[in-house]
Structure formats: structure tokens, C-alpha cells
């Protein structure tokens, strides 16, 4: 019985210590600056500063309004370094980091 006791304790301790391992953090997605843009947007091309209206800052794309046709959605996300402190695009050369979706 004594020889099984040490083996049982080792297994028990291994189970106890494995239950207290640290949790891993999920990778954080950076907030995007979402803008309402012309729904005639062509992916890979810059958006004119005058055609972009700030909506919100979020990790999730909002729903755009007045999006028509079967073109790319009229909501585009930009990184923080593409937006100025007034929540406007820095210039007319900013290419969206993300476009919400392709409409049906």
C-alpha cells in the first residue's frame, strides 16, 4: 500500500498544479475609426477627405446609411495614424485599413 501512496500523491499533485496554470490573454484588436464614405468606393484606392464622415471608434464596424447598389459598403475603417485629432482623415491619400463588407 505504501508503494501506491507515493505514486497516487504524485498524480494528485500534478492534477492540482495543472489546474492553477495562468490564463492566456486573447489578442486585443485595435479600435478602428469608422467613417461613412461614398458607396462607389473601389478597394485599394484612397478615400477623399471630403467624402468621409466620422461615425465612431470601435473594434466592430457600424451599419452605414444610404448604401445602395451592389458595390462595397459605404463604411470604412481607418487606423489611428490615419486620423487627426478632430476625427477627420489626415489627407486625401488615406486607404482604408478595413471595409465593412461587400453588399448583395
Each residue's pLDDT tens digit, 11-39: 777 777 776 666 666 666 778 999 988 76
* Short-list 53, 47, 62, 50, CA closest to 35: 53
Model confidence pLDDT, tens digit, residues 35-71: 988 767 777 888 888 888 999 998 888 877 767 666 6
pTM confidence score: 0.65
Amino acid at each position: 500500500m505504501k508503494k501506491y501512496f507515493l505514486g497516487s500523491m504524485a498524480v494528485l499533485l500534478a492534477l492540482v498544479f495543472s489546474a492553477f496554470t495562468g490564463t492566456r490573454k486573447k489578442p486585443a484588436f485595435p479600435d478602428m475609426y469608422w467613417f461613412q464614405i461614398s458607396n462607389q468606393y473601389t478597394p485599394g484606392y484612397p478615400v477623399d477627405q471630403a467624402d468621409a464622415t466620422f461615425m465612431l471608434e470601435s473594434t466592430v464596424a457600424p451599419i452605414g446609411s444610404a448604401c445602395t447598389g451592389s458595390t462595397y459598403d459605404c463604411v470604412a475603417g481607418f487606423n489611428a495614424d490615419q486620423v487627426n485629432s478632430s476625427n477627420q482623415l489626415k489627407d486625401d491619400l488615406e486607404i482604408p485599413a478595413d471595409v465593412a463588407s461587400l453588399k448583395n
